[in-house]
Amino acid sequence: RQEARDAAGPGRQRRLRIGSVGSRAVAAWLRRVHERLPDTDTTIHVDVSASALLRMVAADQLDVAFVYESEGFPLRVPPDAEQRVLMAREPQFVALAAGHPAAARPVVHLADLAEDTWMVDPTADHEYAAMRRVFSEAGLNPRVVQVRDNATAAELVASGEAVRPCQPTSLPGPGTVVRPVHGDPLAVRLLFTWRPRVLSPPALDALYGELRAAYLDLAKVNPAYLAWLARHEPVLLGRAG
């Protein structure tokens, strides 16, 4: 079918198939791409599994993918795929109830949450294993439960029944706060992945640039993450400036 479409000639509409893990940057990225490429048929496929997205890139079901890799658990990248690093080490913050004793602090320590129940999404690649490794290195052994439904997870956090790691660009839900963790023990690497010969270098540069801009726009409205970037990634902020 793809060969037949290719044979149809230049008169057919260009396609762009984007894949992404769940991120608040996705909507802004897609809007920017639509504005830059108004004549392109752009689609988005969102999946919590980075490995699933990379398999789709390898199978020519996606042209590009925005994924994250849990620290210490490298992804299996398709042999013919290429990558650019958006963030070499994005810290994971923690969401907790507004009434939690640690919520009053601007930065929390893992030990502050050692008696809490932690939540992870069982469909997220290596999230559970990465969390367990961090706890083990810190000499902690909190209870960890796996909750797939985001609405349920949000309610559990707001009620004080559990805490959970979250992206630093996350906004707190009702009755919750989002705080950085001292020392940034939980982290991921953000990657922009594609297969060679699918898109021209200028097109790839444009897509990557729009993704970075969308991501930094989100970071700038979160004071805690903006302060973190100013300390750890001033060059990234400078380029966005």
Span of 77-81, 101-105, 109-113, 117-121 with lowest mean pLDDT: 77-81
> Exposure string (b/e) for 43-55, b if CB count within 10 Å is 16 or more?
eeeebbebebbbb
In order of start, what are the domains of the chain with their CATH numbers?
Answer: 2-89+188-240 (3.40.190.10), 93-179 (3.40.190.10)
To 5 degrees, how large is the angle CA 136–CA 142–CA 143?
125
115 contacts: CB under 8 Å, gap ≥ 6: 142
pLDDT, tens digit (0-9, with 9 covering 90-100), for 184-230:
999 999 999 998 887 888 989 999 999 999 999 998 888 889 999 99
Q: Can you tell me whether residue 216 is helix, strand or coil? A: helix
CB-CB neighbours of 103 under 10 Å: 18
pLDDT, tens digit (0-9, with 9 covering 90-100), for 134-186:
999 999 999 999 999 989 999 999 999 999 999 999 989 999 999 999 999 99
Q: Which residue has the tokens 């009620």?
A: 159
pLDDT, tens digit (0-9, with 9 covering 90-100), for 73-94:
999 998 889 999 999 999 999 9
Burial classification of residue 62, based on how many CB atoms lie within 10 Å of its CB (0-12 exposed, 13-18 middle, 19 or more buried): buried
